[in-house]
Amino acid sequence: MGTYVASEDRYDSLEFRTCGRSGLRLPRLSLGLWQNFGGDRGLEGQRRILRRAFDLGVFHFDLANNYGPPPGRAEENFGRILSEDFGPYREELVITTKAGYVMGPGPHLRGGSRKYLLSSLDQSLKRMGLDYVDIFYSHRPDPDTPLEETMLALHHAVVSGRAMYAGISSYAPSLTRRAAAIMRDLGTPLIVHQSSYSMLNRWVEDGLLEAAADEGMGVVAFSPLAQGLLTSRYLDGSVPTDSRAGIGRPSWRENMLTEEVLGRARALNQIAAERGQTLAQMALSWVLRDQGPRTVTTALVGASSAEQLEQNLKAVENTDFSEEELRDIDRWAVDSDVNIWWAATASKE
């Protein structure tokens, strides 16, 4: 591919929102590099997706230390493309990473300890060729590490210049409030909570959105398409060989794809068609809908191609829902046991 020059009109179409009580702004839809940027995907395809995203106003790229496969490869690939294509645009980008999940053997390559978080951040910066990231997250709560220690590590990441802002991911509402209080006292407020949220996974509505709003934190929704269940891929009951279910991604569980869940997805698909949207577009629009102070700041979308990304970004063209539409959606948009992170990482305090 030739030398990249970003589109001059890249900020003309995709609006952005302020992240909590901070000056940081994020596009309504952001690009997550969880699933399609590892060693099992071609680098040129990844480059096309990243270029097209930025040309369309997506300047927020979300990573974590364990994204791959293998763990760390997504950051390596992103760092190479960043160096070759996006060097002149670094100050326009919001680049985020996290630490908390397993990166290797032994007790200090997982969890929320100061040792793991800060050493992991150093490795992430090295893999991406960066001096700093814009947001560094505690990827999940660690019951074996004092919360104060985890928060102190995030604080140090910011005051040392390794990160501009600090955030948390998959923390329960009460734990979110405790973490925010600790960070306020330290002088480094948490500005964002990243949580799974979709029409089939609504746990954040039970206190988390309210806690984030009260604490001045924006909300970044991940997995808004419920691991692909809220797309057209499974509606006929088959499992495409190149899908997450077909490949057997670690984030996929066999009991996610049941006739009950398929029935809900098909009913939601009909509502989407009546709105002139695909099911995926409506699912994204719904996550981004106006909920007053509890409104989600941005939703992370994955993409296996630039064309898929373009289709998803059309969701922002219609995020308004009538009361009747919301009532119809609520009949089918119920928790469907697709939130593997909640069960694995947090207790409902």
Print the domain residue range for 182: 16-228+288-303
According to DSSP, residue 160 is labeled: T
Distances (CA, A) of 193 to 205, 217, 262, 327: 13, 6, 30, 27
On whether residue 25 sits in a domain, the answer given is yes
On whether residue 345 sits in a domain, the answer given is no
Structural domains counted in the chain: 1
- CA 167 – CA 98 distance, rounded (Å): 9
Q: What is the pLDDT along the chain (349 residues), one digit of tens a residue?
A: 789 999 999 999 899 999 999 999 999 999 999 999 999 999 999 999 999 999 999 999 999 999 999 999 999 999 999 999 999 999 999 999 999 999 999 999 999 999 999 999 999 999 999 999 999 999 999 999 999 999 999 999 999 999 999 999 999 999 999 999 999 999 999 999 999 999 999 999 999 999 999 999 999 999 999 989 999 988 987 666 554 444 455 544 566 778 999 999 999 999 999 999 999 999 999 999 999 999 999 999 999 999 999 999 999 999 999 999 999 999 999 987 776 554 344 444 4
Distances (CA, A) of 149 to 66, 194, 228: 21, 20, 36
On whether residue 7 sits in a domain, the answer given is no
62: enclosing H helix or E strand: strand 60-62
On whether residue 270 sits in a domain, the answer given is no
Q: In this predicted structure, what is the pLDDT of residue 248?
A: 53
Residue 190's domain is classified under what CATH number?
Answer: 3.20.20.100
Cβ burial 102-121 (10 Å sphere, 16+ → b, else e): ebeeeeebbbbbbebbbbbb
On whether residue 317 sits in a domain, the answer given is no
Half-sphere exposure of 87 (CA within 13 A, CB side): 7
On whether residue 214 sits in a domain, the answer given is yes
Distances (CA, A) of 230 to 246, 267, 268, 334: 16, 11, 8, 12
Q: In this predicted structure, what is the pLDDT of residue 340?
A: 55
On whether residue 129 sits in a domain, the answer given is yes
- CA 314 – CA 295 distance, rounded (Å): 19
The residues with which 195 forms a beta bridge, in sequence order, are 221
Nearest to 39 by CA among 85, 72, 80: 72
Please say whether the dihedral angle defined by the alpha carbons of residues 64, 69, 72 and 73, taken in this order, is positive or negative: negative
The residue type at 241? T
On whether residue 136 sits in a domain, the answer given is yes
Q: In this predicted structure, what is the pLDDT of residue 240?
A: 62
- CA 306 – CA 181 distance, rounded (Å): 41
- CA 187 – CA 165 distance, rounded (Å): 12
